[in-house]
Structures are given as structure tokens and as C-alpha cells.
Amino acid sequence: MFSTVFLQLLAGFRQTLAVFFLTLFFSIPLGLVICFGSMSRFTPLRWVTRGFVWVIRGTPLMLQLIIIFYGPGLMFGLTGLVSRFQATIVAFSINYACYFSEIYRGGIESIPKGQYEAGQVLGMTKNQIFFRVVLLQVIKRITAPMGNEIITLVKDTSLARVIGIYELIWAGESFIKKGLIWPLFFTGVYYLVFSGLLTILLDKLDKKLGYFRG
């Protein structure tokens, strides 16, 4: 019985990992694009971007999943426009990109203006100042808040079951019909181990960037 439970939970965990890594793959660069939009000097773009971020951050991810998957069919008759898995990745990527964008913006705006001015005095272009002077300091300052969001993402992947994605929690819950509750609690081991490994990796990254403290 244990081997059956282990294999079934492993199958669900593989789907959880797929959602996790694909979300990071798309949301990390997308968050930077949204960040630049929210910091744009072009006022309409800045306010539209910040309004979009406000809506996404102010509504539940579960609601966004439901709207992205069922919305096209119910509102426009476009059934089958996206699969359940595609809708999950789109919803998660947009949601986390908005959170990441605010972390990026806070990190960039925390850099003293004097460093930009010093770079200009040295004859550096804006791009050179950003990539050679500012970027590593920003990375250092956003490591902790980014790490918190990444750990949260590990647990948020369980929300994908709302639109029928067979992930870890669903795999554990399926054993309840067979009169077994312990497999559901055992799913916590998967989350704890994975979150623990991520925490160790993020701590190592934070120590490597220790030079840029302050």
C-alpha cells in the first residue's frame, strides 16, 4: 500500500513541479517588463500598468484561474481556447509577475540616486550604470522578498486543482475515498522537503551576494 501511495503522490508532485518551474520561467522576466512599465515616464502607460498590478494583486489567484479557463467559453463562446494546464500557467505567471514587479521596483528605487550620478560623471551610459553598478545591488536587496514569494508559490500550486489539474494535494485527497487519511498528511512531507531545499539554495545565494550589503 505504501508503494502505491508513494507512486501516486509522486505523479501529483511531478505536476506540481511543472507548474512551479514554468511559472518561474515566465513570471520572472515578465515581472521585469511590468516593472519597467510601472516606472515609465509615459504617464498613461505607468498608470495602466499600475492599475493592472493593483487588480491582479487585489483579487484571489483562484478567481483568476477560473476566469482564464472558463471565461473565454462563457463570455465569448471560445470553448477549448486553452487547456487546463495552459490556463494554470497563464494565471500563475501573470499573478506572480505582478508581485515580482513590485519587488523589482522597490529594489531599483532603493538604490541611492548618487550612484547614478557618479556613473554619469564617469561617462557611463544609463544601460552601463544599470547593468554594471545597480543590478547586482538590486538582486541582493530583492533576494529575501523574492525568496518568500517563491516559497509561497510552492504551496499555491495546490490551487490548480480548482480547474481540474491533478497535482499533489489532489493525489493525496483521492485516498480519502478508500478510507485513508494519512496519504493526505504525507503530502506535507513533499512540500516541506521541496521548500527546505529551496530555502537552502536561496540562503546560499544571499550569502554570495553579501558583498553588496548596505
Residue 14: the pLDDT is 95
pTM for the structure as a whole: 0.90
Q: Which residue has the higher pLDDT, 112 or 63?
A: 63
CATH superfamily assigned to domain 2-212 = MetI-like (1.10.3720.10)
Q: Do residues 99 and 34 touch, judged by C-beta distance below 8 A?
A: no
The most confident of 137-141, 147-151, 203-207, by mean pLDDT: 147-151
- The mean of the pLDDT values for the chain is 90
Classify residue 161 by its DSSP letter. G
Sequence-separated contacts (24+) of 146-151 with Cβ below 8 Å: 146/100, 146/103, 147/198, 147/199, 147/202, 147/206, 149/96, 149/99, 149/100, 149/103, 150/24, 150/198, 150/202, 151/195, 151/198, 151/199
Query: Which residue ranges make up each domain of the chain?
Result: 2-212
Q: Which residue has the higher pLDDT, 202 or 123?
A: 202
Q: Quick check: 214 pLDDT over 60?
A: no
pLDDT digits (tens, 9 = 90+) for 90-134: 999 999 999 999 999 999 888 888 777 777 777 787 777 777 778
